[in-house]
Structure 1
């Protein structure tokens, strides 16, 4: 009798789990299909579907956690990344990643699992991990990582700027990324940057110049002043966030864990660079590992570092109208790169 009860209990539990997976697959699949039709104009995008069991086996039950919502695994002899989300916006991430997959500097999606309450996404593996681990002084020291050389930082800035420009200009409606952050940029085996996490990205409606977003987005890292004030964003909001990103590349400082620069407790990297009373010379502002790279190119290096800082300051102007577009930012970074090569 007991054995019969256990058997029935086991099969009922398995049946319930199967129905839950089937229900999740139908619901998530419908959302994904609807979003793909709206955003991709019916263009075919190769997205593979995985079962929950396949991904558990591929990741050894998600045993190798890389940070936040990322896990490493291996499927059919190929190293993969899986990304977990507990957010209703999860579908948004995969759809925009798929739209952007042709861009060299975007983490490439492979597929997804739709059997879980919130989809799990599968991406190509980025061998050199997070950009943050190679830039933030605190992480470089703690993890014994090789700090990134200036020439590579400059190139990464230009490549990410181009990816954001692509979001703003390549589609029928501009897409605002809204998540520019060292933590959202991976590096491949050649240190080529790959942008990820389009969870909170949003399109500007046709005929509009900005878009109102969920009020919780006002707490995002590097939130622009106009987002805090009005709850609305446009392309210039990304420019502001990108300015923060440039400052972190230049200083090696994590904006939320500043260890080297002397900044007032209630101040920020942006306020520091805009306040003549606080900010110091470029030689004191820049990451010391950059300044130590080449003793004989001092004057040229100092000029390009100053140009980089000036661009970051322009991007983080309080007034959105005084900020450049991301297209202009990309061009300016390319000019600074050429100055490096010819200066």
Structure 2
């Protein structure tokens, strides 16, 4: 855990005592969407609202427990360094006296992109629809945060887990990138990192990770491309598709979008809850083209995250839809 203490000393994360850490109340809505046996709780610390990340179940085997500690220590190190960016979930402190470290994050409304895009029917339409411009802006905000991961430090950091569950939305519907327990940095003198701790993310993994477990900046680009398609279509990375005269079958979002383009049915790609009449045809084509370039099978054909950020920024500026609250630090 030495890296954890180094990160705490250099960053803005502070160590709290267990007595302080236990002063929280459960947010049941937040527990519903969380994975990897981690729960989020609402609390109050020094007069401010916070989110407490706590792993409820601890595996009995020593090797599995060691992996959990490694992931949490990695999250503390990376989140502390990334906290200077205003689109990254800010880690305020941690408790290291418990068997498994407890992490204290800034308060963000307990809604993720999964709630707003993929679970909107289950929420009985109680959540406002994210319109086209909102989704472009959110994609840009995510790209800003991931680009910062890749370029702000001497060695690139790879997020490794870009999917709707990893993105919170605050009260202004601005994207806040979270979930750093599976992130990693590329070692000195290497162009990739082999990481066996990262779990599959339901269709968001790049081909080179699936076959060789290799992570580079371009694996994040691939995952972002899938996430961008999810934003545009309202569909998950993999879903059941029912064709006329056929039984339901599982398909992935890339093949589905490509098929729609091939059959000249591009208007059917957009999430039906969005008002299509407000979407410029050129903007729709450019967005889909960017997402598909990000998901190219060969990594070298994908744009960099910085290029993605610039393209999305140009799209938004051309339609004058970037709010002043979304400036990047």
TM-score in same-fold range (> 0.5): yes
Distance in 1 separating the partners of 2:14 and 2:243: 47
CA distance in 2, matches of 1:279, 1:227: 31
Q: C-alpha offsets along residues 144-196 of structure 1, whole Å, 9 cap, x if unaligned?
A: 21111211111111111011111111111011111111111112221221111
Instruction: Give me the whole-angstrom Cα distance separating, in 2, the residues matched to 1:312 and 1:48.
Output: 39
| Conservation of the 8 A alpha-carbon contact between 2:241 and 2:251 | no
Residues 171-227 of structure 1: CA distance to partner in whole angstroms, max 9, x if unpaired?
11011111111111112221221111111111111111111111x536233111001
- Structure 1 counterpart of 2:93, from 88, 100, 111: 111
> 1:98: how far off?
1.0
Give the structure 1 partner of residue 19 of structure 2: 53
Q: Would the alpha carbon gap of residues 139 and 99 (structure 1) be closer, same or farther in structure 2, given more than 3 Å must change?
A: farther
Aligned match of 1:219: 200
Q: Note the residue ranges of structure 2 that are not aligned, 5 or more in a row.
A: 59-67, 322-329
1:228 paired residue among 179, 191, 210:
210
SS at match of 1:209: coil
* Counterparts of residues 166-185 of structure 1 (less than 5 Å): 166-185=148-167
Instruction: Please state how far the C-alpha of 1:276 moved relative to its aligned partner.
Output: 5.6
Higher helix share: 1
Give SS of 2:127's match. Answer: coil
The equivalent residue for 1:74 is: 44
1:168·1:175 contact (CA, 8 Å) conserved in 2?
Answer: yes
**Distance in 1 (alpha carbons) for counterparts of 2:19 and 2:243:** 48
CA distance in 1, matches of 2:194, 2:99: 27
Q: TM-score, normalised by structure 2?
A: 0.83
Q: Are 1:99 and 2:81 counterparts?
A: yes
Measured after TM superposition, the shift of residue 337 of structure 1 is 1.2
Q: Which residue of 2 aligns with 1:190?
A: 172
Task: Specify every segment of 5 or more residues in structure 1 that has no aligned partner in the other structure, as ranges.
Answer: 1-27, 38-42
Counterpart secondary structure, 1:81: strand
Alignment map for 1:1-343 (pairs within 5 Å): 30=2, 32-34=4-6, 36=7, 44-56=10-22, 58-60=23-25, 62=26, 64=28, 66-67=30-31, 68=34, 69-85=39-55, 87-88=68-69, 89-127=71-109, 129-136=111-118, 138-139=120-121, 141-142=123-124, 144-214=126-196, 216-217=197-198, 219-221=200-202, 222-257=204-239, 265-275=249-259, 281-292=265-276, 295=277, 297=278, 301-341=280-320
Quote how far apart the aligned CAs of 1:273 are: 2.1
Superposition RMSD in Å: 2.6
Worse-matched range after superposition: 189-198 or 137-146: 137-146
Is contact 1:140-1:146 (8 Å) kept?
Answer: no
State the TM-score, normalized to the length of structure 1: 0.79
Distance 1:133 1:65, change over 3 A: closer
**Partner SS for 1:223:** coil
Flag the 1:120–1:128 CA change in 2: closer, same or farther, 3 A.
Answer: closer
Give the drift of 1:339. 3.0
Structure showing greater Rg: 1
Q: Is the 8 A contact 1:218 1:228 kept in 2?
A: no
